[in-house]
Amino acid sequence: LLIYQLILQTHFSTLNNILCLYSDDGLVCDFSRLPADWSPAVFQTEYFGEIRLGTPGQNFSVVLDTGSADLWVPSTVCGSGHYDSVAAPQAVHHRFRAFDSSTFHHDGRQFGIHYGSGHLLGVTARDTLEIGGMTILNQEFGESVYEPGSSFLLAKFDGVLGLAYPRLAEILGNPVFDNLMVQEIVEEPVFSFYITDGSSRGGELLLGGTDESLYVEPINWLPVTDKGYWQIKMDSVSVQGVNSLCPHGCPAIIDTGTSLIAAPTNETVALHHLIGATPTNIGEFVIDCARLSSLPHVTFVLGGQEYTLSAQQYDVFNGREFCFSGFQANDIMTPEGPLWILGDVFLRQYYSIFDRGQDRVGLARVRQPADLYLSLNDTLSTRFPHQS
């Protein structure tokens, strides 16, 4: 099995320059130095890895996203008001040079993709893809030619590689992981994520299995309830032990491409009230960083198991005095009811396993640094025993 490492990037330094002050109008934060279409989602910790497209291979950094199913990268003809600006840092993003690849096939079908923090337009193509030491032949992907706004411009990644079910694809007949299965490149139809808070390595995506050194048994297996997103049923959400949200169960998706935890607006407002968060002038919620240790825990119940986050875990964006909440409003309706999104704020605490063979998601406790050290030592002792 091949391990594919993810790289961690942060934008916290930008948010350190934001000043929030109380006034007669409530809590007012100064975002004047940031782009007009700024949102906190742009400044999250991003988890992405390297792929190579074409022959010879061209390098791209892509977000590994279980909340979408398409692969796209910027084209050399990509343009927008931001990209055409003299001040725009064009060198930060790699662009695909189609005619430099001997294995490139132009399909030419136009597409558009909408994400929570931006959208793009482009055309479809096929080429050889290398990911984690594995080679996929004739992989469909999108060449982005128009990316309006600052969302993608300010990001440290070049594109997105989706890992959701094929039904979610806007571009692809066979998404990347489906091709890994069809071309019999992976041994098992499983991939798994380990992501960190940035204090150590950024994380790991394992294609074809799990890394037992990174989590503690048992694994809680949750059946996928709708094969588009990695959607499961959440039993309830409680604040300090009181089942006050999602009391009768609700749909939730496990999404590595969403930085925060998203919930319906009415439940987000209620949750922020329960944890003592204060709304700002742009609708985001903040908390006095000095109060984090006294704030209530938030517990998610999935498959009968409790997953509890402390305030230090669900609050992000440490600023001068105020911490931004890790919860955001996002109203998406499904046949099963309003949707919750368990993004990176949740997933940093748990090892997540995505099983296409049995259509299920597994969650296990991430090994703490001391546990991880002992596990790695045991592995090394087994592989390289001491010589007498």
CATH at 280: 2.40.70.10
Instruction: Tell me the whole-structure pTM to 2 decimals.
Output: 0.85
Report, as an integer, the average pLDDT of 276-299: 86
Q: Residue 122: beta bridge partners? A: 111, 144
Residue of 355, 194, 330, 358 lying closest to 271 (CA atoms):
330
Kindly state whether residues 147 and 220 are assigned to the same domain.
no
Evaluate whether 330 touches 343 at the Cβ level (below 8 Å).
no
The verdict on residue 379 lying in a domain is no
Kindly state whether residues 229 and 156 are assigned to the same domain.
no
Q: Which helix (H) or strand (E) holds 297?
A: none
Q: Distance (Å, rounded) from C-alpha 302 to C-alpha 247? A: 12
Report, as an integer, the average pLDDT of 371-382: 38
Domain that holds residue 295: 214-374
Q: What Cα–Cα distance (Å) separates residue 236 from each residue in 225, 298, 329, 375?
A: 16, 11, 17, 33
Q: Distance (Å, rounded) from C-alpha 278 to C-alpha 177? A: 42
Kindly state whether residues 138 and 243 are assigned to the same domain.
no
Supply the DSSP symbol for 43: G
Number of domains in the chain: 2
Kindly state whether residues 96 and 132 are assigned to the same domain.
yes
pLDDT-derived band at 179 (thresholds 50, 70, 90) equals very high
**Helix ranges (DSSP H) in 52-191:** 151-154, 176-182
The residue with greater pLDDT, 103 or 208, is 103
Predicted confidence at residue 87, as pLDDT, reads 34
pLDDT in tens, 316-334: 765 567 788 999 999 999 9
Kindly state whether residues 228 and 350 are assigned to the same domain.
yes
Kindly state whether residues 110 and 226 are assigned to the same domain.
no
Kindly state whether residues 158 and 292 are assigned to the same domain.
no
| Token pair recorded at residue 68 | 């979408």
Q: Distance (Å, rounded) from C-alpha 199 to C-alpha 368? A: 12
For residue 198, with 0-12 CB atoms within 10 Å meaning exposed, 13-18 middle and 19 or more buried, which class applies? middle
Predicted confidence at residue 285, as pLDDT, reads 86
* Percentage of residues in the chain having pLDDT higher than 70: 73
The verdict on residue 386 lying in a domain is no
Q: Which of 65, 70, 127, 355 is catalytic?
A: 65
> Strands 250-254 and 230-239: what pairing?
antiparallel
Q: Which of 70, 158, 178, 255 is catalytic?
A: 255
The residue with greater pLDDT, 16 or 254, is 254
Evaluate whether 234 touches 249 at the Cβ level (below 8 Å).
yes
pLDDT-derived band at 45 (thresholds 50, 70, 90) equals low
Kindly state whether residues 366 and 263 are assigned to the same domain.
yes
Kindly state whether residues 16 and 85 are assigned to the same domain.
yes
The verdict on residue 380 lying in a domain is no
pLDDT in tens, 151-165: 566 667 889 999 999
**Helix ranges (DSSP H) in the chain:** 12-15, 151-154, 176-182, 265-275, 311-314, 344-347, 369-383
Kindly state whether residues 18 and 165 are assigned to the same domain.
yes
| Token pair recorded at residue 36 | 């007009």
* 90: pLDDT strictly greater than 50: no
Boundary-marking domain end, from 127, 159, 194 = 194
Evaluate whether 97 touches 106 at the Cβ level (below 8 Å).
no
* 14: pLDDT strictly greater than 50: no
The verdict on residue 174 lying in a domain is yes
Q: Distance (Å, rounded) from C-alpha 307 to C-alpha 326? A: 16
Evaluate whether 223 touches 276 at the Cβ level (below 8 Å).
no
Kindly state whether residues 225 and 363 are assigned to the same domain.
yes
Predicted confidence at residue 153, as pLDDT, reads 65
Boundary-marking domain end, from 164, 194, 224 = 194
The residue with greater pLDDT, 364 or 286, is 364
The residue with greater pLDDT, 224 or 77, is 224
Is 65 known to be catalytic? yes
Is 84 known to be catalytic? no
The verdict on residue 205 lying in a domain is no
Kindly state whether residues 70 and 121 are assigned to the same domain.
yes
